[in-house]
Amino acid sequence: MKPCEIKKDIYWVGAVDWNVRNFHGHTYSTQRGTTYNAYLIVDEKITLVDTVYGPFSNEMIARIREIVSPEKIDYIIVNHVETDHSGALPDIVKACKKAKLYGTTKCREGLYKHYYGEWHFQPVKTGDTLKLGKRTLSFLEAPMIHWPDSMFTYCPEEELLLPNDAFGQHYATSERFDDEVGQAELMDEAAKYYGNILWPLSSLILKKIEEVQNSKLSIRMIAPSHGIIWRKDPAKILNSYVSWAKNETKPKVVVAYETMWGATQTMARMIVDGITDTGTSVKLFDLAQSDRTEVIKEMLDAKGFIIGSSTHNNGMLVAVAGFLDFLKGLKPKNRIGAAFGSYGWAGGAIKSIEGTLKEAGVEIIQPGLGIQYVPDDVELKKCYEYGVNFAKQIGKE
């Protein structure tokens, strides 16, 4: 695949990872793969912005070579230390010994602790600029979006924002731009990325977007380090980030459960029937069978979470426990919840679920619904009404 010229003399020289299916360990399932985006700016000073994951280093260098000899690179901007963007640095630094690296002080510390190389590194902070010739690069620190070292780079002459991970998607495609792919698929991946990685950082993200808006930067293109480039409608992703960061929700419920012998599943289906009959949008997931990354994406804009589990060892089943632990780390806000499940004798799952939902910041709005062993017709009706009552408290937009 050839480099892609995204603006005059600015090239995508990254790599498409079609086959990766797990990211950040197994915390994120990348069912559509991903890309590692690196950008080469050809000006009086030749500048590489970010690199790629180490195993794709040769691919990136070959792409650069189609434009200029890598030895000619003057500057390398390191917006982020994480290895999916810095893994190719040792190779590219070897190929262009004169290149000077630019990044935050935390970036320098982080790079050293990854690669132990003594590189020519210039720390930069918000407001610092670097003249390339016709173009200038301006730096904006973005700590904890999503690592302490994270930084955005902006080119005013091109009205181009290079924000690294922010506004990205784990989405492998032969296309490079937002107007070349299906919008539903694109926004699905952008929401999945926000929900599973950035959600807990929402207050920082909101402040950073306000900072960018207050500084009146004109942005015509956003070129993140994963997925497609926003050139047709960068406002679309900016507005979506504002909405997600504000924890805005829809009248929608996610019902997620795990079952031992089917009784909790039967309850879940009746609860969903009740919610559905009120006209409220609902999604149902068996957590033992579902892709957690997808469930979290559905929760990102859902007002209500109803979580169910059979009781096991006086607590909840392990898939539910693992899921809620992950959800707790995402720190959702402005959500309501409830718990249900079948039990044999002592019970305990509902109390455990409610406790963890509260720790996650979810408001429990109705008493848990526990049913002994297998629900009879009267109890099934209770499940249905449980769903109806919950949905009534969601309200309508």
- Active-site residues: which are they? 24, 80, 82, 84, 146, 165, 193, 226
Are 123 and 101 in contact, with CB atoms under 8 Å apart? no
User: What is the nearest approach in angstroms of ligand FEO to the Cβ of residue 98?
Assistant: 27
User: What is the nearest approach in angstroms of ligand FEO to the Cβ of residue 85?
Assistant: 6
DSSP line for 280-311:
-EEEEEETTTS-HHHHHHHHTTEEEEEEEE--
Task: Output the residue with the shortest Cβ distance to ligand FEO.
Answer: 82
* Phi, psi angle pair for 341, to nearest 5°: 165, 160
Helix (H, G, I), strand (E, B) or coil at 53: coil
Stretch that binds ligand FEO, among 58-66, 78-86, 133-141, 336-344 (CB under 6 A): 78-86
Number of chain residues interacting with ligand FEO (CB under 6 A): 9
Structure tokens given for 114: 């990854």
DSSP line for 196-226:
IIIGGGHHHHHHHHHHHHHTT---SEE--SS
Q: Which of 82, 149, 158, 189 binds ligand FEO (CB under 6 A)?
A: 82
> Is residue 292 close enough to count as binding ligand FEO by CB under 6 A?
no
Q: Give the Cα separation of 132 and 28 in Å (integer).
A: 37
Say how many C-beta atoms besides its own lie within 10 A of residue 80's C-beta: 26
Give Rg (Cα) of the chain.
Answer: 24
User: What is the nearest approach in angstroms of ligand FEO to the Cβ of residue 146?
Assistant: 6
Q: Give the Cα separation of 386 and 246 in Å (integer).
A: 29
Stretch that binds ligand FEO, among 82-90, 258-266, 276-284, 331-339 (CB under 6 A): 82-90
> Is residue 84 close enough to count as binding ligand FEO by CB under 6 A?
yes
> Is residue 165 close enough to count as binding ligand FEO by CB under 6 A?
yes
Q: Which of 80, 108, 252, 312 binds ligand FEO (CB under 6 A)?
A: 80
Q: Which of 226, 252, 303, 335 binds ligand FEO (CB under 6 A)?
A: 226
Q: Which of 225, 249, 259, 311 binds ligand FEO (CB under 6 A)?
A: 225
Q: Taking Cα atoms as reference points, which of 133, 145, 160, 163 lies closest to residue 224? A: 163
Q: Give the Cα separation of 298 and 137 in Å (integer).
A: 37
User: What is the nearest approach in angstroms of ligand FEO to the Cβ of residue 102?
Assistant: 18
**What does the per-residue mask of binding to ligand FEO show for 110-149, with x meaning CB under 6 A?**
------------------------------------xx--
Q: Give the Cα separation of 48 and 175 in Å (integer).
A: 21
User: What is the nearest approach in angstroms of ligand FEO to the Cβ of residue 104?
Assistant: 14
> Is residue 85 close enough to count as binding ligand FEO by CB under 6 A?
yes
Residues that bind ligand FEO in the complex, under the rule CB under 6 A: 80, 82, 84-85, 146-147, 165, 225-226
